[in-house]
């Protein structure tokens, strides 16, 4: 049975229902689950966890890959990246989430939004929200990371916001070389330009990536674009 919307959208709907009708959140969750054909939210959550696109996509990644995950705000690009990190950790690999956008608490809350309790991966997960994140910073922090580690950078367009940081292409090229040398998988969360029109194509693509500064998009080995619960994955030819 396919859900009518991603689980995080359904959870938001339940929270809104809880507020509007003054009922406990667990009751609101069960009511939303019933509209999806499940007798309880816990059963819906199990179904969602077993059918996340990340389960299908992660096995297609290789050590050394640079992956771009792009979507307009609210379409799930951060959650998709976290789901990919979770798939890595389920396989025993480490994952580090670098964010210039969120606090550590925000990141952990988003993990819970996809039904993952952070304590489950306490020894494998690291969240770094330093405001000095750049390619050099990431490479320094990941210098001793074991092969197969998934590195998420949130987000691409913020890497060169500081004047002292190198150009975006220089940073991405450096991270590509670093990932290949160390056997890491680096996932970049990316903004999509406001000009993207979902009425003309169901998912954005590389031509819709917001680029306030120049960047050679051919540096990415894999891309994953999301819109309205649709996921479009491509590997570089």
pLDDT at 219 over 80: yes
Number of domains in the chain: 2
Is there a single domain that holds both residue 176 and residue 208? yes
Let me know whether 194 and 224 are in one domain. Answer: yes
State residue 27's pLDDT score: 94
What tens digit of pLDDT does each residue of 46-74 get?
777 666 889 889 999 999 999 999 999 98
Question: What residues contact residue 232 under an 8 Å CB cut-off, 6+ apart?
Answer: 202, 203, 205, 224, 225, 226
Any domain includes 93: yes
CATH code of the domain covering residue 61: 3.40.50.300
Query: Is pLDDT at 3 greater than 90 in this prediction?
Result: no
Please state, in angstroms and rounded to a whole number, the distance separating the CA atoms of residues 219 and 6. 30
Q: How many CB atoms lie within 10 A of CB 123?
A: 8
Question: What's the pLDDT at 229?
Answer: 79
At 1 the pLDDT is: 60
pLDDT value at residue 153: 98
- Domain end position, chosen among 51, 67, 85: 51
Mean residue pLDDT across the chain: 93
Residue range 122-167, pLDDT digits in tens: 899 999 999 999 999 999 999 999 999 999 999 999 999 888 999 9
From first CA to last CA, the distance across the chain in angstroms is 33
Instruction: Assess whether 64 and 46 both reside in one domain.
Output: no
pLDDT interval class at 31 (50, 70, 90):
very high
Domain range for 159: 53-235
Is 2 contained in some domain?
A: no
**pLDDT at residue 228 in the model:** 85
Q: Is pLDDT at 220 greater than 90 in this prediction?
A: yes
Average pLDDT over residues 174-201: 97
For residues 178 and 120, state if they share a domain. yes
Check pLDDT > 70 for residue 22. yes
Say whether pLDDT at 197 is over 90: yes
pLDDT at 84: 96
pLDDT value of residue 103: 96
Report the pLDDT averaged over residues 64-93.
95
d(CA 40, CA 15): 16
Tell me whether residue 138 is in a domain. Answer: yes
Q: For residues 108 and 127, is the Cβ–Cβ distance under 8 A?
A: yes
* Distance (Å, whole) CA 230 – CA 227: 5
Predicted confidence at residue 230, as pLDDT, reads 87
**Per-residue pLDDT, 122:** 85
């Amino acid at each position: 049975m396919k859900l009518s919307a991603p689980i995080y959208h359904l959870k938001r709907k339940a929270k809104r229902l809880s507020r509007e009708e003054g009922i406990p959140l667990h009751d609101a969750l069960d009511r939303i689950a019933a509209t999806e054909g499940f007798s309880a939210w816990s059963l819906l959550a199990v179904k969602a966890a077993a059918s996340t696109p990340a389960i299908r996509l992660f096995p297609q990644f290789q050590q050394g890959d640079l992956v771009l995950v792009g979507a307009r705000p609210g379409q799930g690009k951060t959650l998709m990246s976290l789901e990919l990190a979770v798939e890595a950790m389920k396989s025993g690999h480490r994952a580090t989430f670098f964010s210039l956008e969120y606090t550590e608490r925000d990141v952990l809350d988003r993990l819970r939004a996809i039904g993952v309790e952070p304590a489950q991966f306490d020894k494998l997960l690291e969240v770094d929200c330093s405001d000095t994140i750049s390619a050099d910073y990431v490479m320094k922090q990941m210098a001793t990371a074991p092969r197969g580690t998934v590195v998420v950078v949130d987000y691409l367009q913020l890497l060169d916001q500081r004047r002292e940081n190198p150009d975006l292409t220089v940073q991405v090229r450096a991270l590509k070389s670093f990932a290949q040398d160390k056997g890491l998988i680096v996932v970049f969360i990316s903004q999509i330009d406001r000009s993207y029109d979902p009425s003309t194509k169901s998912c954005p693509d590389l031509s819709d990536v917001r680029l306030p500064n120049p960047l050679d998009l051919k540096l990415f080995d894999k891309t994953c674009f999301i819109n309205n619960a649709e996921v479009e994955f491509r590997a570089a030819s």
